[in-house]
A and B are shown apart, each in its own frame.
Chain A
Amino acid sequence: MKVFMGMWSWLAAAVVAVVAGSALAQAPVEVPFFYPVAVGGPITKIIDRFAADFEKENPGIKLHPIYSGSYQESIAKALTAVKSGDPPVTSILLSTDMFTLIDEDAIVPFDDLIKTADDRAWLASFYPAFMENSQTGGKTWGIPFQRSTIVLYYDKDAFREAGLDPNHPPATWKEMTEYAQKLTKRDASGNVTRWGVQIPSSGFPYWLFQGLTIENGVNLMNQAGTAVYYDKPEVIGALQYWLDLVNRYKVHPPGIVEWGTTPKDFFERKVAMMWTTTGNLTNVRSNAKFDFGVGMLPANKQRGSPTGGGNFYIFKKSTPAQREAAFRFIKWVTAPERAAQWGIDTGYVAVRADAWDTPVMKQYVAGFAAAAVARDQLPFAKAELSTHDNQRVTKALNDGLQAALTGTKTPEQAMKDAQREADRLLRSYK
């Protein structure tokens, strides 16, 4: 009896050991990640499908996609999680959050994970314009995933009505002003029924403003994120041009133009040309009941647009196994076919050149030429405003722009005040 019992307990112990051992050996690597939804469409479904497909090909990894709201909320969630010691392994966050994340010691650069020649080739395949906001101090901190630029949408039918060539969007500031003057319609009592052009100024006017300043020859900050140039004459000149559209030429609505309702304004034909993200392409295509076109932003001294959108980051508080798993996912999801499909489904600009050469993308562009405008603009695109203490430094500019656009301050005063505030904030980072 005793021997019998002894044998059973041996067997039990052995079974337990085997099971425990195999469980330990095969415990899947958990990779929670935050993702924002900033465009319409079944994004959550697409992300979930990505996760499922990736897990099928990589059985040892378990992805936990967590929808975290808008970009603002996502960075809020990510940083709150970092501060309470419980961050995700990776996240899609704004490319401009890079310095904030570095300062909070929240992320690790990708350089340690990029070991093979294949990896290096993969890194080199992303458009340089998108990498500008992803690298600093010689290291790569973010991988572009859902990126955008500003483009000019215009009402072709309105162009025809005004005697303009519907296949020629304005190529220079002068043309934009002239076209806008022809396109602005007024009723009998002098009230405007259709504006010529509108550039949104609510929420984050700095982004749209960057379009104007790049076109006027200067970007707003240095690459190290330690200095901004809000009060350069070219910048003030760009702001003056914006104000002239409102006050001098009267082709642009007064006050603050709401970002969220600008596409609707376009559909309602209350405005003939609008500046907004390329991410709105599918939205405009579905809802504009008239012939519309997409053009690059007009040049003054040069063509230009800031980039926008989100990158993948890898968080510091993670095990090496988790980092490798996350890295593998990031490489997988930015493969050319997937990048192309993501671009088509969401309206974001596919982040690598070879994605544009895939058959599915070629077919898409063949059927919808407007989709390629953002890509064609990329050689002229520059980094989005991004510095240390980014949100605050950006807010200083936003407030200044809104003050100028509501007539509370002159452009010079507004930009000088913004510069002073930014200098004060950046002092400790120099």
Chain B
Amino acid sequence: MTRTREWLYAWLLLLPAATLLALFTHYPAIANLWHSFYSTPRGSRPVTFIGLDNYRALIDDPIFWQALSNNLWYALGTIPLSIALALLMAVWVNGHLPGRGFLRLAYFTPTVLPMIAVANIWLFFYTPGYGLLEQVTGLFGLPSHNWLGSRSTALPALMVVTVWKEAGFFMIFYLAALQSMSPHLADVAAIEGASRSYFFRRVTLPLLMPTTLFVLVNAVINAFRVVDHIVVMTRGGPDNATALLLYYIFEIGFRFWDSSYAAALTMVLLTLLAAAAILQFAFLERRTHYQ
């Protein structure tokens, strides 16, 4: 087809998606950047240009730094662990272990339950005195511990909930990938005397790379996006020990109504996500196997 027809066609194909994206992503993002340079309008007080004041306030804000550090630790704690567990689960379910139908179901059920609901159940697990964990540690004679109520264990406790929720979801993708691997490979490896772990490391893992990257993108997005469990379980406490960036933004924007400071914080979050996305996609474009 002619050049003009080609690009007319292309633009028509793109138009619906492009319109929605512009309306709900690009325009709000720019509006957000714009608003971060202006003060928050408050009823009688009009908006004034304040330049980089928000960003200066951000640097001086200890809670922001706490939230940032929390989020990075949270990402570090949940992403590798949930991916590794997902892979392990997939290997187990794929191998001919007894009861794998049950296992597959058991690993996947957390995905189906909304975080809002399970957060309450986990709250019971962590309750000191008679919570499930307490009942179990009590059996072993271990002392009582207030998991969510002490600064050192609150965030790790939430990380456990996240890993529990995500690993089964990622497992499905690994499972599909494993099951689509040609059985020839395993046979050849067995004949050549390769051990299971060698085979796993040198053959399986590289072939699973596209799946891993797919899963990694999802895991990174979720590490910054999901704050439902904080809303239910700790509300950011104790003393901001479980405040994540998006949760802090939500607090600033919808509890304190400081929309301009929230906009500045959002810009930081966006930058972080941009950096993560660029890294991942540079990888993805290069490493993916096309057959």
Q: Do A and B bind each other?
A: yes
Interface residues of A (CB under 8 A from B): 72, 76, 79-80, 83, 100, 102-106, 189, 191-192, 201-203, 253-258, 260-261, 264-265, 268, 270, 389, 391-392, 395, 398-399, 402-403, 405-406, 408
* Chain B residue nearest in CB terms to A388: B42
Contacting pair B238 A253 (CB below 8 A):
no
Determine if B256 and A256 form an interchain contact, defined as CB atoms under 8 angstroms apart: no
Residue from B63, B129, B238 within 8 A of A405 (CB atoms): B238
Q: How far is the CA of A103 from the CA of B128 in the complex (A)?
A: 41
Contact with A along B17-42 (1 / 0, CB 8 A): 00000000000000000000000001
- List B contacts of A391 (CB < 8 A): 255-257
* Nearest opposing residue in chain B for A405, CB measure: B238
Q: Are A103 and B150 in contact (CB-based, < 8 A)? A: no
One of B96-104, B139-147, B278-286 contacting the partner: B139-147
- Check if B127 sits within 8 Å of A258, measured CB to CB: yes
A258 touches B239 (CB 8 A): no
**A5 to B47 alpha-carbon distance, docked (Å):** 61
Considering the complex, give the chain B residue whose CB is closest to the CB of A195. B129
Q: A80 contacts which chain B residues (CB < 8 A)?
A: 254
Residue of B nearest to A392 (CB): B256
* Contact of B234 with A by CB under 8 A: yes
How far does the alpha carbon of A406 sit from the alpha carbon of B148 in the complex, in Å? 11
The listed residue with most A CB atoms (<10 A of its CB), out of B44, B257, B258, is: B257
**Most chain A CB neighbours (cut-off 10 Å) among B128, B148, B235, B238:** B238
A258 and B254 contact, CB distance less than 8 A: no
Inter-chain CA distance A227–B144, complex, in Å, is: 41
A72 touches B255 (CB 8 A): yes
Contact check, B255 vs A256: say whether CB atoms are below 8 A apart. Answer: no
| In the complex, B265 has a CB within 8 A of chain A | no
**Contact for B144 among A100, A192, A203, A392, CB less than 8 A:** A192
List A contacts of B130 (CB < 8 A).
265, 268, 270
Tell me the total A-B contact number using a CB cutoff of 8 A. Answer: 91
Contact present for B254 and A406 (CB under 8 Å): no
Do B123 and A255 touch across chains, with their CB atoms under 8 A apart? no
Across the interface, do A105 and B43 meet the contact criterion of CB distance under 8 Å? yes
Q: Name the residue of chain B whose CB is nearest to the CB of A82.
A: B43
Inter-chain contact A268/B129, CB cutoff 8 Å: yes
Total B residues in contact with A, Cβ cutoff 8 Å = 31
Given contacts A202-B234, A255-B146, are A399 and B239 in contact (CB under 8 A)? Answer: yes
Contact in complex: A104, B42 (CB < 8 Å): yes
- The reply to whether A256 and B123 form a contact with Cβ atoms under 8 Å apart is no
How many Å lie between the Cα of A395 and that of B236 in the bound state? 11
- Chain B residues with CB under 8 Å of A261's CB are 123-124, 127
User: Which residue in chain A gives the minimum CB-CB distance to B235?
Assistant: A203
Instruction: Report yes or no: A254 in contact with B146, Cβ–Cβ below 8 A.
Output: yes
B240 touches A76 (CB 8 A): no
Distance in angstroms from B200 CB to nearest chain A CB is 43
Can you list 9 residue pairs at the A/B interface with Cβ under 8 Å? Answer: A76-B255, A104-B43, A253-B146, A255-B150, A258-B127, A260-B123, A261-B123, A261-B124, A391-B256
The 8 Å CB contact of A106, one of B43, B123, B143, is B43
Tell me if B156 is interfacial: C-beta within 8 Å of chain A.
Answer: no
Give the 5 A-B CB pairs with smallest separation, nearest first.
A105-B43, A256-B149, A255-B149, A255-B146, A402-B239
Q: A103 — which chain B residues lie within 8 A by C-beta?
A: 42-44
8 A Cβ contacts from B43-88 to A: 43-44, 63
A-facing residues in B231-270 (Cβ within 8 Å): 234-235, 237-240, 251, 254-259
Chain B, Cβ-Cβ closest to A265? B129
Q: Are B237 and A203 in contact (CB under 8 A)?
A: yes
Q: Which residues of B contact A72 (CB under 8 A)?
A: 255
- Distance in Å from the Cβ of A70 to the closest Cβ of chain B? 10
Cβ contacts under 8 Å, B240 to chain A: 399
When distances are taken between beta carbons in the complex, the residues of chain A under 8 Å from B259 are 83
- Assess whether A76 is in contact with B146, with CB atoms less than 8 Å apart: no
Contact for A189 among B141, B238, B256, CB less than 8 A: B141
- Assess the A258–B150 pair: CB atoms within 8 A: no
Q: Known pairs A255-B150, A270-B129, A395-B256. 17 more at Cβ < 8 A?
A: A76-B254, A83-B259, A103-B43, A103-B44, A106-B43, A202-B235, A202-B237, A253-B146, A258-B123, A260-B123, A265-B127, A265-B129, A391-B256, A395-B255, A402-B237, A402-B238, A406-B239
Who on chain A is nearest to B124 by CB?
A261
- Tell me, rounded to whole Å, the shortest Cβ–Cβ distance linking B120 to chain A: 9
Interface residue ranges of B159-206 to A (CB < 8 Å): none
Q: In the complex, which residue of chain A has the Cβ closest to the Cβ of B44?
A: A105
In the assembled complex, the Cα of A392 lies from the Cα of B257 at a distance in Å of 9
Q: Which residues of B contact A270 (CB under 8 A)?
A: 129-130
Contact of A253 among B123, B128, B237 (CB under 8 A): B128
Please give me the residue from chain B that is nearest to A256 by CB atom: B149
Q: A338 to B42, alpha carbons, bound, how many Å? A: 36
A256 to B146, CA, bound (A): 8
**A406 contacts B151, C-beta separation under 8 Å:** yes
Q: How far is it, in angstroms, between the C-alpha of A358 and the C-alpha of B124 when the chains are bound?
A: 41
Could you tell me the distance in whole angstroms from the C-beta of B223 to the nearest C-beta in chain A?
A: 24
B237 and A256: CB pair below 8 A? yes
In Å, the complex CA distance between A72 and B210 comes to: 43
**Chain B positions within 8 Å of A408 at CB level:** 151, 239
User: A256 near B128 (CB under 8 angstroms)?
Assistant: no
Instruction: Give B250 Cβ to nearest chain A Cβ, in Å.
Output: 9
**Smallest CB–CB gap between B269 and chain A, Å?**
19
Q: Which residues of B contact A392 (CB under 8 A)?
A: 256, 258
Nearest chain-A residue to B130 (Cβ)?
A268
Contacts of B43 on A, CB cut-off 8 Å? 102-106
Given contacts A105-B43, A106-B43, contact A255 B238 (CB under 8 A): yes
Please measure, in the bound complex, the distance between the C-alpha atom of A27 and the C-alpha atom of B229, giving whole angstroms: 46
| Residue numbers in A under 8 Å from B123 (CB-CB) | 258, 260-261
Docked Cα-Cα span, A106 to B148, in Å, equals: 37
Q: Could you tell me the distance in whole angstroms from the C-beta of B256 to the nearest C-beta in chain A?
A: 5
Q: With the chains together, A389 CA to B43 CA distance in Å? A: 13
